[in-house]
Every structure is written in C-alpha cells, then in structure tokens.
Amino acid sequence: VKVGIGPGSICTTRVVAGVGVPQFTAVLDCAAAAREAGVRIVADGGIKYSGDVAKALAAGAHAVMIGKLLAGTEESPGETEIYKGRSFKVYRGMGSLGAMRDGSSDRYFQEGVSKLVPEGI
C-alpha cells in the first residue's frame, strides 16, 4: 500500500485541500495496521533529505519512493536549464498539467475529459 497524500516536494494537495497528515505519522499509523493484515507499506513522498529514507523505514515502510533527491542529478533524464548562471533540471509533479497531458491523467481520474484540472486547483 502506498502511503502519502500531499507530502511530495512540489505537491500542493495538502495545502489546497486543507487536510493531510505528516508523512512520518502516516507511515507509522498505516504500518501498524498493515502488519496485522500482512500488507507491505511504501512511503510515497516527503523525502527531502537522505535521512528521511531511514526515518520512513524506521516508521515501518518496506520501501520508499524518492523523487526530488534523484530528479536533479546529472544522471536523471530531463531537460537542464541555466538560470542566473546555475544549472537546474526541469521537475514537475504527476498532477501538473504537463504530466497529465503526457499520460498521468488516469491517476487523477481524468481520462477522456476534454479539460484537465491540475492537482491542487
């Protein structure tokens, strides 16, 4: 079971919806219930620093999804832009208009609609 609504580095769901649980608490609570059912937990989002991986595992996650930590590396795919002399990778959330146009609309139950609504709006 993937755990995490809104903890991603560029996700605005928690702020816009006005609801949410900090990722460590969400993983901790879900892991307790999952243990009883024999289900594995994947912490999805909220990994800002490498130490956050250890915290998610300590809270009970069996695996951790990492976006931001890897997205900006030289080895990751994607366009690089120069801004004020510094190099940046283009990074977007799966609920963004660009990502939904490129195929993630099914994750947000917007398949077959003529107008996409980006996450958080």
Which member of 11, 35, 40, 92 is catalytic? 11
Does the annotation count 11 as an active-site position? yes
Which member of 35, 40, 101, 107 is catalytic? 107
User: In sequence order, what DSSP letters do the residues of the chain get, joined into one string?
Assistant: -EE-SS-STT--HHHHHS----HHHHHHHHHHHHHHHT---EEES---SHHHHHHHHHHT-SEEE-SHHHHTSTTS-S-EEEETTEEEE----TTSHHHIIIIIGGGGT-TT-SS---TT-
Active site residues: 11, 107
